[in-house]
Amino acid sequence: MICWWVTPSPAFVEEMHELAITQSMFNLVLDEANKAKAKKVKKVNLVIGEMSGVVDDCVQFYFELFSKDTIAEKAELSFKKVPIQAQCKDCGEVFVLKEFDWACPRCHNSNIEIKTGNELYIDSIEVE
């Protein structure tokens, strides 16, 4: 019947999970630095949950590309990783999820609720 074909990306480029995330992060950093009338961004403090699957080295790599010749060039990236933490809904125990073992370590039930691990935000930036 009807079919439209949309190609928003102009070139065939291998892109990774972290590229779009780092681009958004970089844009936010520049935005906040400009609002603070900063001349230089020295450090970006990131909070990243383990559930996001973000690889620090990839973010670092892309950030260096994006920030070249900008006030954020050579800014240090700090990655505060948040583990996937759960709470047992039966006995209240709070614990970090281990690979393939998601039962409560105290009562061994699987009735758990994920509490942390999905974070992906900029906590602060350090500027001059």
Partner 1 sequence: MEVKVLKNILSANDQIAARNRELLDSKGIFTINIMSSPGAGKTSLLLETIKRLKDRFKIGVIEGDISSRIDADRIAQEGVPAVQINTGGECHLDANMTGTALANMPLDKINLLFIENVGNLICPGEFQLGENKKVLISSVPEGDDKPYKYPLMFHIADVIVLNKIDLLPYVRFNMENFTKGVKALNQNAEIIQVSCVTGEGLDKWVAWLLANVTRPAR
- Residues found near partner 1 in the complex (CB under 8 A): 1-17, 20-21, 24-25, 27-28, 32-33, 36, 38, 46, 51-53, 84, 86, 97, 99-100, 102, 110-114, 117-118, 120-128
Residue 23 CB neighbour total at 10 angstroms: 15
CA–CA dist 126, 128 (Å, integer): 7
Shortest separation between residue 73's beta carbon and partner 1, angstroms: 18
Shortest separation between residue 54's beta carbon and partner 1, angstroms: 9
Shortest separation between residue 102's beta carbon and partner 1, angstroms: 4
- Half-sphere exposure (Cβ direction) of 98: Cα atoms closer than 13 Å: 5
CA–CA dist 7, 68 (Å, integer): 28
Q: What are the beta bridge partners of residue 46?
A: 79, 122
User: Under a CB-based contact definition with an 8 Å cutoff, are residues 31 and 23 in contact?
Assistant: no
CB nearer to partner 1: pick between 67 and 125: 125
CB nearer to partner 1: pick between 70 and 97: 97
CB nearer to partner 1: pick between 24 and 68: 24
CB nearer to partner 1: pick between 56 and 126: 126
Shortest separation between residue 80's beta carbon and partner 1, angstroms: 13
In this structure, what DSSP letter does residue 30 have? Answer: H
